[in-house]
Every structure is written in C-alpha cells, then in structure tokens.
Amino acid sequence: MSFNEAKAKYALLGVDVERAMEKLRSVPVALHCWQGDDVRGFDTDPEKPLTGGIQTTGNYPGRARDVKELMADIDRVLALCPGTKKINLHASYAVFTPENGGWVDRDKLEPKHFEAWADFCRERGIGADFNPTLFSHPMCDPLTLSSPNEKTRRFWIDHCKACIRISEYLARETGIKCVMNIWTGDGLKDTPADRFGPRQRYKESLDEILSMPYDFSLVKPCVESKVFGIGVESYTVGSAEFTLGYAASNKDKCIPLMDNGHYHPTEVVSDKIPAMLVFFPEIALHITRGVRWDSDHVVLFDDETKELCKEIVRCGGLEGSVDIALDYFDASVNRIAAWTLGFRNVQKALLNGLLTPNETLKKLQDEGRFTELLVMQDELKTLPFGDVWNEYCRLCGVPADGEWMKTVLEYEQKVLVNRK
Ligand code: RNT
Ligand code: ZN
C-alpha cells in the first residue's frame, strides 16, 4: 500500500520506480573481507600491528580468527544485503592447508592458495576482487614498491605479479572480471629529503608489474592514491597526482581508484567522478567514511554518500564504467552490523540516485532555471524513499530496515561471544 503510493509520487516526477529497482539489482558492489577481522589476514602473526598508515580501533568481541569463521560471517552479511555482490579479498587472506603445501611468503603466492575463496564465490554465484597486501609485513622496510633497497622492491614486485595471476584465476573461476587494487602505505612521517626518487622507483615497479601478460578484460589493475596516513603524515609516494598521472599514461593496463577517505577533508569524490570519466573509460571506487581524517568509519546514508552515488548514476557508471567497492574497518562495534549497515547504505544511496529525476534537474540547469533547481533538489529529500527501499529489500529477499539487527544480535549471542 505505502509502496504503491510512493511509486505514484515518483511517477508524477517521471521516475520509474520499478525500472530503478531492476537496474540496481544488476549492479555489482564489492564487499570487503577485511571488516571481519580488523584487516589482520591469515598469513602473518595475528597479534602484529597494522602498518602502512592504516589503523583499526576498538576490540569488540567476535573478530573472525580463521577462514571458516570469516566465511561464515560473510554469509551472514550477504543474507542481509540486497543487490549483486562481489567479495573483495586481500592477498593476506590466502588459505594455507597441508594439501596445498602450507604457508608461503607473499612473493610466492599462487592461485591454489585462493581455491577456497574461488569455490566460495562460485557456489554463491558472485565475483571476486583482489588486492596485493603491501603492508603489515616484515618486508616493509618501511617502504615497499618505492624502497631504495633492491631486495625489498623485488619481493614486492614479485608479490604483485603473483597477485595478477591470482586475480586472473579468480576472474576465470567466477566468470566475472576481477578489479585488482594496488595500494601501498609507502611514505614518510617527517619532511623528506627526496620526494622524487621514491616516486620514480614506484613508477618503475609498477611498470615491471604491469609488463607481465594478463587479460585486461578479466583483470583490472588499479592504482589507489592517498594524501597521508598514520605515521606517514608528511609524504606519501602514491599521491593523487602520481597515481592519476600513472593511470592516465597507462590506460591500456590499469585504471585509477579513488578512496573517498584519501583526500583533503573539503575535497569530495562525488565531484571527482565526472571529472575522471571525461578521460577514463573505467574508474574504481573505495567507499568509506572519513571522520576528520581517513578513519574508515562505517558508511552511512549521509549527504556525501548520496551525492557520490548520484554521480555514479548520472555519469552512466552503473553500465560498467565505475567499479564500486567498500573499504572501511571498525573494530569498536559488532562487525557483522558494521559490514551490513555500510553495504545497505551504498545500495540505498544508489537507489536514491536512481530515483532522482536527473533528466528534469539537468534540464533546469541547462535552461538556467536555478531557483527552480534549488527548490526541487531540496524538496526531493522528503519523498517517500523508505517505502521504495523496503520494497527493494523485499524483492531481493532480505530484511527491511528495522528487521535485520535482531538477527545480528542473535548471531552475536550464539556465535560471536564464544570467540575469545
Ligand atoms: C588504505 C587504503 C586501502 C586499504 C585496504 C585494506 O588507506 O584505503 O585500500 O584500506 O586495501
Ligand atoms: Zn581504500
């Protein structure tokens, strides 16, 4: 009843609600595996500190301690989230078993170490994205791909090459392209004496990694920039200009990735998307929420998330030119809830973008009717969006708002509290 009324209200504005929901259901959004275990992974000592400028804070009970727990937790999240999903993996989540020969270091990783994940994705009919893990490892000196130390650089170049092979394997196994994001925390705490050298070396490393053969329609290597990180406050090698420049001069080999926690606080990725799409046929996103700094808080249904998703919709990004992934990690609240809330909010914001009468608004802008544009954009905010959202959840077979948290609390009581 309330859905039909909502639908009629949107129809008056020329918005086809059914078509919007259908479109959204087909768009893949990558769920990051690392929210489940505070970015620790399985390949190094779980008590080691995170390095590379990233940090989780909090010790809420229930962190996944092995692949079985992590997969079980991801399944809980998938069951609560509408839409098409992918799983975003990091190399540090390799699964070592006696059958596949046990532990190897990151430069020796092979597709077989991700067979369990490939099976996981195939069984659920979803794709996988991938990331080399260039942090929290003894071979960070502390630099990786930009290190002046040849041995260090070799190790990490070999790691990234291994990751391309794994990404191609995942793409072939799932039948869905794999976005492989290269991010390093390389940088300096204090004023550098040489800003140029590390960037030259980073470029040379990337050139060597991307010179290996791979099918660019299956593997989409990305380069992610960052303005600063904890412990690398004064200088990051992979700055915005560096990664953008690299991606622009290697369009046949890689694409740029923007993480909305990685810019100066008044810069917004919503505005960057249409700028980038003028020049790049494909871009990738990490959606997060920075609070004052790149704090990786849980994504909310807030103004910037809405604006960012509106731009994805308006720029045709849902037709495959924008690869959408989540990237945040909060250890201070129930991790299943954090994952679910953020994923649902990205879906919500995309639905909100699809339910915006973008053609009408564009016409007002182009005709210079700015007063009407201002009024209409603001009044759209009180349309009965929630009724459409709950109908979308129903269509996707997942709980509506207000209904999913109780299942998370049940799982917490039954499973998570027992993880000590
Ligand atoms: C860090 C980057 C990077 C990581 C993940 C774990 O600031 O955003 O993308 O968060 O690779
Ligand atoms: Zn990121």
Residues less than 5 Å from ion ligand 2, measured at CB: 259, 286, 327
pLDDT of the residue at 192:
98
226 within ligand 1 shell (Cβ under 6 A)? yes
135 part of a folded domain: yes
pTM over 0.95: yes
> What is the distance between the alpha carbons of residues 96 and 102, in angstroms, rounded to a whole number?
5
Active-site residue, 286 included: yes
Nearest-atom number in ligand 1 for the CA of 229 is: 7
Among the listed residues 129, 294, 387, 391, the single catalytic one is 294
pLDDT of the residue at 1:
65
399 part of a folded domain: no
Tell me if 186 sits within 8 A of 237, measured CB to CB: yes
pLDDT of the residue at 276:
98
2 part of a folded domain: no
pLDDT in tens, the chain (420 residues): 699 999 999 999 999 999 999 999 999 999 999 999 999 999 998 888 888 889 899 999 999 999 999 999 999 999 999 999 999 999 999 999 999 999 999 999 999 999 999 999 999 999 999 999 999 999 999 999 999 999 999 999 999 999 999 999 999 999 999 999 999 999 999 999 999 999 999 999 999 999 999 999 999 999 999 999 999 999 999 999 999 999 999 999 999 999 999 999 999 999 999 999 999 999 999 999 999 999 999 999 999 999 999 999 999 999 999 999 999 999 999 999 999 999 999 999 999 999 999 999 999 999 999 999 999 999 999 999 999 999 999 999 999 999 999 999 999 999 999 998
204 part of a folded domain: yes
> What is the distance between the alpha carbons of residues 174 and 123, in angstroms, rounded to a whole number?
9
Distance 224 CA to ligand 1 centre (A): 8
286 within ligand 1 shell (Cβ under 6 A)? yes
Among the listed residues 43, 73, 327, 330, the single catalytic one is 327
Which letter does DSSP use for residue 119 in this model? H
Residue 312: count other Cβ atoms within 10 Å of its Cβ: 27
173 within ligand 1 shell (Cβ under 6 A)? no
Two tokens, residue 180: 């492989």
Two tokens, residue 9: 């209200």
Strand partners of residue 256: 223
CATH of the domain at 231: 3.20.20.150
Range of the structural domain that residue 243 is part of: 27-356
Classify each residue of 110-147 as buried b or exposed e, where b means 16 or more C-beta atoms within 10 Å of its C-beta.
ebbbbbbbbebbeeeebbbbbbbbbbbbebbebbbbbb
Number of domains in the chain: 1
